[in-house]
A and B are shown apart, each in its own frame.
Chain A
Amino acid sequence: MDLAAESGVIHETLAVVRFCTGGWRVGVEACQVRSSRPATEESPGGEFATVLGLPAVAASLLGRQYLALKRSMRDEAEGLVEILVDAPVELLSLPVATIHPLPPLLAARIRLHGLRALAMQAEAGEKALTLLFDADTF
């Protein structure tokens, strides 16, 4: 059920934690991110690019972050997962008008796990694409 539609509330922005992975600009709904911390050698979490099915880009841990993602569809044991991402990690309010569902042919053919939407924003005078993922589906 779409609660927003039911209650007549129109949302204008979506809170997103945006970061980079494999050279791509990527976002996850902020409500799915529990915490972030600097990456250390001992951290057990996996490279986010690899989780998505993107080729991993070898990089040192310097300046990288671990994000703890909450996955509501999983049981308690599997519900929290740590992923390794590249800086900058930032909390943004994306205007709803900039967020688009996947075009149907792209949705049918894409091999990335969990890609739900695309955000197209103007930044520094240029349009930039952010891939929006759902932590529950990858």
Chain B
Amino acid sequence: MSEATLDQVLSQRREVNKDIVNVDEPAVKLVIFALGDDWFAFQSERIREILAQADIFFVPGCPPSLEGVINVRGDIESVIRPHEMLHLPDNSDGGRASAILLGRGGGMSSGIRVDRVVDVVDVPQSSIRPPPSTLPEHMRVLVLGVLRFQEQPVAVLDLDKMFVDYARGLG
């Protein structure tokens, strides 16, 4: 077996590196969560915080989709339940897996009650497809795109639109 020279080794390494293609592409960080059996996501730049536990203070005169308010380090935030906006049954009992996403959109901020946070992940931008035409009308206006994650379809929601529509009385 012949001994390689340094030149040969470096040349060999360069050849190997030739095959490495830079596959970096724009990525999007998503907070993926479950509402019942359906999975949704928000762009993480819209989510300030994920709260596992928070004491909810009920406020009278609110619609059922507005769960109440929470105290987040001295600030008061509302907590909404998005199920009705998305035409989903609201069977959650606020169990141990449920969480509140503190979101900011449409110039407003609020907590959003979700049944479970699935993951916070970076996904290639190209993996997010436009909303399919088969999506129901009420969803089409709120969905920015769809992707598959862990073999599940995930709808990426437009938080700006959700908050603006909610303030207008939707849901």
Contacts and interface: CB of A to CB of B under 8 A. Distances in A.
Nearest to B57: A129
A115 interface: yes
B44 interface: no
A127 B59 contact: no
A115 B61 contact: yes
Interface of A: 22, 24, 52-54, 97, 100, 103-106, 108-112, 115, 118, 120, 127, 129, 131
Among A106, A110, A131, residue most surrounded by chain B Cβ atoms (within 10 Å): A106
B151 interface: no
Given A97-B74, A100-B76, A118-B69, A106 B62 contact: yes
Given A100-B75, A118-B76, A105 B108 contact: yes
Interface of B: 55, 57, 59-63, 66, 69, 71, 74-78, 80, 107-110, 163, 166-169
Nearest to B77: A103
B55 A106 contact: no
A105 B59 CA distance: 13
Given A103-B77, A104-B110, A109 B63 contact: yes
Contact of B167 (A109, A112, A127, A129): A109
Contacts of A52: 61
A129 B57 CA distance: 7
Contacts of A112: 60-61
Nearest to B66: A109
B66 A105 contact: yes
B76 A120 contact: yes
